[in-house]
Amino acid sequence: MAGVELKADVTGSVWKILATAGQQLAPGDTVMILESMKMEIPVIAEDGGTVAEIRVTEGSPVTEGQVVAVVTG
Amino acid sequence: MSEAWQAELDELALRREASQRLGGAEAVDKHHRQHRLTVRERIDGVVDAGSFTEVGSLTGQGRYEGGRLTGVTPAPYVMGLAKIDGRPVAIGGEDFTVRGGTSWSGDRKKGGQGGFVEDLAHQYRIPLVNLIDGAGGSVTSIQRRGHAVFPGVHGFERSVQLLGEVPVVCAVMGTAAGGPAGRAILSHWSVMVKDTSHVFAAGPPVVERSLGQKVTKEELGGPQIAVVEAGTIHDVADSEAACFDMIRRYLSYMPQNVWELPPTGERSDPVDRCDDALRSIVPENRRRPYDMRRIVRAIADRDSVFELQPLFGKALITCLARMNGTVVGFIANNPMVYGGAMDVKAARKQSHFMELCDCFHIPIVFLVDVPGFMVGKDAEAAATLREGMRAVYVSLQVSVPIYTVVVRKCYGMAGMGTTDKNGLDFKLAWPSAEWGSLPIEGGVAAAFRREIQAAPDPKLREAEIEAELRASASPFRTAEAFGVEEIIDPRETRPILCSFIAAARNRLATTLGPKPKYGVPP
């Protein structure tokens, strides 16, 4: 099954990664928290699923629209 | 037995029948197969059932045999007078099934720039609904006329005039390029339809010839570009039917013209409804964002919120809504996107929305959580400072009341654009509010650099200074000095706003009419 790509809403950096590959997520669970403009911006798996891939590491910079994780349904 | 004038009435019936057939069964079938409705079906879809009175139904190109009429190809534009929610509107649209909706040369234009439908809206001071489905001029008109038409012979002067007089709504129903695309922009609100509509200054063939770029219609002027990235068009509908509902909804908030107040809606939601959730939506951790739309919905009349440009400039939320039935415009910073910082798109969105509310005498409620203008190289290159100051300039020109509710941050120049400096300058704040010329955490490092560097533990010293300043920055201290007019329990936001908005009606009702513009916006 094709994965859902979770994208960064904002340009900033990865502050905390909360989920790990293989983990089951309920709809609305937070996968990671980005930091931008001194704000914590959550990356949320709207539909839940299984974490297939985390593409960033804590502290790494991200740009708006960048795929940061993939979740399969 | 023949009646008086029977031959003439038969001819009228024949001509009317021809106009109902549009470009003929084959062309209409082809149009339907592409999941598009005809212009007549579209008009019926937008207006109150049975309310359409057509004007110019006999226009077109007659065919004659020995002086006897054998058929008519209708003009590629259908328009007239109709009603939406019982109120009259001027409505018209290109008929794509006749020569692709290209222009037609009769004695008088029906639609488009300077057409009868625009005159109808202007003379009767009623809203104009344009259903656009045409690519504008064709070079074949040179052949037909024997000369090239100077740009502006059929100009936008009436279209521009209308923007200060009556609500103008444009729906891009098919592919719009050239003049029709320009007209889509000359509106207060515009919408397009997913998959079946596109809008651009010039289409793929012209782009390829001019620049050598190969692009599809969708890549050049689909909703991803026109609505999400560029904000050229204000919204996208999932289907033509959904588009018609959105047009009706938008107009339900609008007055018929700038000489009248917007219609008052139902007063079924109690004025004193205090939503407990308002106390807990804003997190105590000031780095945590929250759902600002929930706050708008909790304050406004139940089910009255209609968001404009939801996909563009997402750092700012703009909605039409009602407060105890009175139409208001909500502007709210969105902390989920760059902490609500004003970027160039949010600034453009704010300027447009404030001008819209001002034009139609709609009071503004500003829910503030703005850390300032967006910073960084990209933001500077995009002219955030200039476009942001334009938003501030617009806020200082509007003459409708602006009710400022500081939900959390209100900083800097962007913060200045949230208040009613030319009016009552009435500012409410929640206990979660904080303000200043710039956020403390950004300012401490710069202002106390020497002291911080000299300290044995610079990090600790910076945190100490921040804590000291934060205590003095409490909103209650500003309230002591009457620098903010009231600090309220968030639950009380709706009742307080409702009473002030109701009281402003006297002022609004006595300052109707067009708003003169002066000065040169930055």
Per-residue pLDDT tens over the stretch B266-292 = 999 999 999 999 999 999 988 899 999
**Cross-chain Cβ contact A39/B289 below 8 Å:** yes
Q: What are phi and psi of B512, to 5 degrees?
A: -75, 170
pLDDT confidence of residue B139: 67
pLDDT-based confidence at residue B474 (cuts at 50, 70, 90): confident
pLDDT confidence of residue A37: 80
Q: In terms of DSSP bridges, do strands A12-17 and A29-36 run parallel, antiparallel, or are they unpaired?
A: antiparallel
Whether the pLDDT of residue B142 is over 90: the answer is: no
Residue B150 per-residue DSSP state: P
Tell me if ipTM is over 0.85.
no
- Whole-angstrom CA distances from B157 to B22, B199, B227, B352 are 30, 22, 26, 20
A43-52, B134-143, B484-493, range with greatest mean pLDDT? B484-493
Q: In terms of DSSP bridges, do strands B128-132 and B87-94 run parallel, antiparallel, or are they unpaired?
A: parallel
A39 touches chain B (CB under 8 A): yes
In 3D space, the residue among B419, B436, B447 whose CA is nearest the CA of residue B470 turns out to be B436
Give residues with Cβ within 8 angstroms of A23, minimum separation 6.
Answer: A50, A51
Instruction: Tell me the residues of chain B between 368 and 387 that have a Cβ less than 8 Å away from chain A.
Output: 371, 374-376, 378
pLDDT confidence of residue B138: 66
The more confident residue out of B285 and B492 is B492
Distance CA B156, CA B57 (A): 24
Instruction: Work out the mean pLDDT of chain B and round it to a whole number.
Output: 93
**pLDDT, average across residues B219-224:** 96
% of chain B at pLDDT higher than 70: 98
CATH architecture of A3-72: Beta Barrel (2.40)
pLDDT confidence of residue A1: 52
In 3D space, the residue among A14, A8, A27 whose CA is nearest the CA of residue A60 turns out to be A14
pLDDT confidence of residue B431: 96
Residue to mutate among B287, B345, B370, B378, with most A CBs inside 10 A, is B287
Chain A residues near residue B445 by CB distance under 8 angstroms: none
Nearest Cβ partner for A41 among B289, B375, B441: B289
**Cross-chain Cβ contact A38/B371 below 8 Å:** yes
Nearest Cβ partner for A38 among B287, B336, B374: B287
Chain A residues near residue B374 by CB distance under 8 angstroms: 37
User: Can you give the residue ranges of every domain in chain A?
Assistant: 3-72
Residues in chain A: 73
% of chain B at pLDDT higher than 90: 80
Q: In terms of DSSP bridges, do strands B402-411 and B427-429 run parallel, antiparallel, or are they unpaired?
A: parallel
B107-116, B265-274, B344-353, B509-518, range with greatest mean pLDDT? B344-353
Q: What is the pLDDT of residues A6-38, one digit of tens each?
A: 999 888 999 999 999 999 999 999 999 999 887
Instruction: Determine the distance in angstroms separating the CA of B284 from the nearest CA of chain A, rounded to an integer.
Output: 13
Whether the pLDDT of residue A67 is over 90: the answer is: yes
Distance CA B134, CA B111 (A): 11
Whether the pLDDT of residue B152 is over 80: the answer is: no
pLDDT-based confidence at residue B143 (cuts at 50, 70, 90): confident
Q: In terms of DSSP bridges, do strands B198-199 and B175-176 run parallel, antiparallel, or are they unpaired?
A: parallel
Chain A residues near residue B338 by CB distance under 8 angstroms: 10, 36-37, 39
Record the tokens describing residue B444, joined without a space. 């401490």
Residue B338 per-residue DSSP state: G
pLDDT confidence of residue B145: 77
User: In three state form, how does the secondary structure of B167-216 look?
Assistant: CEEEEECCEECHHHHHHHHCCCEEEEECCCCEECCCCHHHHHHHHCCCCC
A30 touches chain B (CB under 8 A): no
The CATH superfamily label for domain B36-53+75-252 reads 2-enoyl-CoA Hydratase; Chain A, domain 1 (3.90.226.10)
Distance CA B350, CA A45 (A): 30
Distance CA B407, CA B431 (A): 8
**Cross-chain Cβ contact A40/B335 below 8 Å:** no
Nearest Cβ partner for B337 among A9, A40, A42: A9
pLDDT-based confidence at residue B137 (cuts at 50, 70, 90): low
Whether the pLDDT of residue B513 is over 70: the answer is: yes
Beta strands in chain A (DSSP E): 3-7, 12-17, 24-25, 29-36, 39-45, 49-54, 61-62, 67-72
pLDDT confidence of residue B501: 97
pLDDT confidence of residue B446: 81
Chain A residues near residue B442 by CB distance under 8 angstroms: 38
The CATH superfamily label for domain B276-433+484-509 reads 2-enoyl-CoA Hydratase; Chain A, domain 1 (3.90.226.10)
pTM of the model: 0.92
B36-53+75-252 and B276-433+484-509: identical CATH topology: yes
Record the tokens describing residue B26, joined without a space. 């084959």
pLDDT-based confidence at residue B100 (cuts at 50, 70, 90): confident
User: Can you give the residue ranges of every domain in chain B?
Assistant: 36-53+75-252, 276-433+484-509, 438-472
% of chain A at pLDDT higher than 90: 71
Instruction: Determine the distance in angstroms separating the CA of B102 from the nearest CA of chain A, rounded to an integer.
Output: 39
Tell me the helix, strand and coil percentages in chain B, rounded to 5: 40, 20, 40
**Cross-chain Cβ contact A39/B442 below 8 Å:** no
pLDDT-based confidence at residue B469 (cuts at 50, 70, 90): confident
